[in-house]
Amino acid sequence: MKILIVEDNFRLRENLVKFFKMSNIVAEEATNWQEALQKTTQTEYDCIILDINMPLMNWKVFLQNLRSQKSDTPVLALTSNSMLDDKVELFNIWADDYVTKPFELEELLVRVKALLRRRPEIIEDKINVKDIEIDILHHKVLKDWKSITLTNKEYLIIEFLSINRWIPKNKTELLEKVWWELEETLNLSSITLEAHISVIRKKLWKDLIKTIKWVGYVIE
């Protein structure tokens, strides 16, 4: 999982990055809305934390541009108590949630996770690849109509790749997604991931997950 923190206060920004890292969430930084907008054109984030009190921060322009990119990335705004009118407009029209300063880091984490649970990811209930059926709704995989026993990590790897079918995903994306989903400490070891994919291929079909050299893995 990857989020973008848009904050010009160095100390607060660094504290947020460290806190989310400890919570197994990768956080990238931007110090102004122009830099943030550029980053959103290059990377798809799971959530954006946006401080709308920054000097020279035109948060309406930023959010207008973000939505014009057809981005549905949830936005959590950081606001001050003095911005009551802005908060009403912000919450009703622009952002998905907001937190008023000062705030507890744990509350911020809870709100971020709540936004992610609300975000629609599943396009199909079932995805079929040859004789294999990935049942997203019931979290199971069938081969020739028979249920296959998989570990949580094995299933989540298949689910992520099948939801993003035909889109190659690199090792870091897979590790971040699967390990965060299980709320486990990130172990960004490519050997760990390769071992899991090797087992999946043995249990299901050796060509189900294809390796794209120098890129990552894909289900076609």
Question: Tens of pLDDT along 45-96?
Answer: 889 999 988 876 677 788 888 877 767 788 998 887 655 555 556 655 567 8
Beta pairing class for 210-212 and 132-135:
unpaired
Task: Assess whether the region 2-118 and the region 126-218 belong to the same CATH fold.
Answer: no
- How many alpha carbons lie under 13 Å from residue 40 in its C-beta half-sphere? 29
Separation between Cα atoms, residue 60 and residue 40, nearest integer Å: 16
Beta bridge partners of 47: 3
Determine if the pTM surpasses 0.85.
no
Any idea where the domains of the chain sit in the sequence?
2-118, 126-218
Q: Where does residue 106 fall: left (phi above 0), alpha (psi -120 to 50 degrees), or beta otherwise?
A: alpha
Domain 126-218, what architecture? Orthogonal Bundle (1.10)
Average pLDDT, the chain: 82
Mean pLDDT of 190-209: 90
pLDDT, tens digit, for every residue of 48-60?
A: 999 988 876 677 7
Beta bridge partners of 153: none
Q: Which CATH class is domain 2-118?
A: alpha beta
